[in-house]
Amino acid sequence: MPQDPHPRTASRRHYLMCPPTYFTVSYSINPWMHPDRPTDTDVAVAQWERLRDLFLDLGHRVDLIEPIPGLPDMVYAANGATVLDDKVVVANFRHAERAGESAAYKEWFQNHGDYDVVPAAHINEGEGDYLVSGTRILAGTGFRSDPAAHQEAEDVLGAPVVGLTLVDPRYYHLDTALSILTEDLIAYLPEAFAPASREVLAQLYPDAVIADPDDAAVFGLNAVSDGRHVVLPKAADRLAAKLAERGFEPVGVDLSELLKGGGSAKCCTLELRHADPTGAAR
């Protein structure tokens, strides 16, 4: 495995999160959701609070959006929008069960800061499928976001979009199969992508961390990196070891209850990227 001799440096981030106050699994819109299996909202809240506290302990800013009854998936805040340089593309969800979240996230951005807010015209599921990687945006399609939304995101956010096709329904969003570690380094599961997309990723990121299927299956790639610390499911132990070999500090968390809805650390975390680099401290 490639070794990186350079020390990893953390940068302070600004996140938006939503408490899982009304979390349950009452419908199924991805392979992880089984309404016949019980969920424990109190456990989900406790696990989510641990994740939020970890971010705060690492020095990041965390803002909260108020959860809404009847929208149990609102906890997966990453799906609500994509934010770059204070420009916001608000999600347009594929499934009716989540459609109400769009208005909630739009209202939050309109009422918090000087954001340029644009509701997506095409199906676009926020940072679930749109991951900012340095000067480009990696954009997933195949299960949720419409390919037509890629051009829309590029036009609004002002960064080139690289389309990637997902082929495994377990990894229905890009952020379940790929994680941004630094501006020029990613971790991903090749098997989750169409052959042409694998070729693109291999060309753009020749030194990428390659996850194994077992770690991907516990949502190890649904991780949050600040450039040094990588918060990921604690069950993804082999991936954590690979990250440590590359100079990162893996921080394991238990989000097993929220995995019942098809999400983990990244799904719960929407990054707010500001045009002013000091914006995270506003």
Please say if 122 is a catalytic residue.
no
Taking CA atoms, 246 is separated from 85, 162, 178, 242, in Å, by 29, 25, 17, 7
CB-facing half-sphere around the CA of 16: CA atoms within 13 A: 27
Cβ neighbour number for residue 188 with a 10 Å cutoff: 26
Return the structure tokens found at 7. Answer: 């020390």
Q: Rounded to whole angstroms, how far apart are CA atoms 282 and 271?
A: 14
Of the candidates 18, 60, 267, 274, the residue annotated as catalytic is 267
Q: Rounded to whole angstroms, how far apart are CA atoms 25 and 17?
A: 19
Beta bridge partners of 231: 224, 251
| Strands in 166-279 per DSSP E | 178-182, 185-188, 209-210, 224-225, 229-233, 249-253, 270-271
- For residue 45, give the amino acid letter: V
Burial of 114 (0-12, 13-18, 19+ CB in 10 A): exposed
Of the candidates 173, 229, 268, 274, the residue annotated as catalytic is 173
- How, if at all, do strands 14-17 and 270-271 pair? antiparallel
Q: Rounded to whole angstroms, how far apart are CA atoms 60 and 280?
A: 8
**Which runs of consecutive H residues, i.e. helices, occur in the chain?**
41-57, 100-111, 148-157, 195-204, 213-217, 237-245, 256-259
Please say if 267 is a catalytic residue.
yes
Residue 181 DSSP SS3? strand
Active site residues: 173, 267
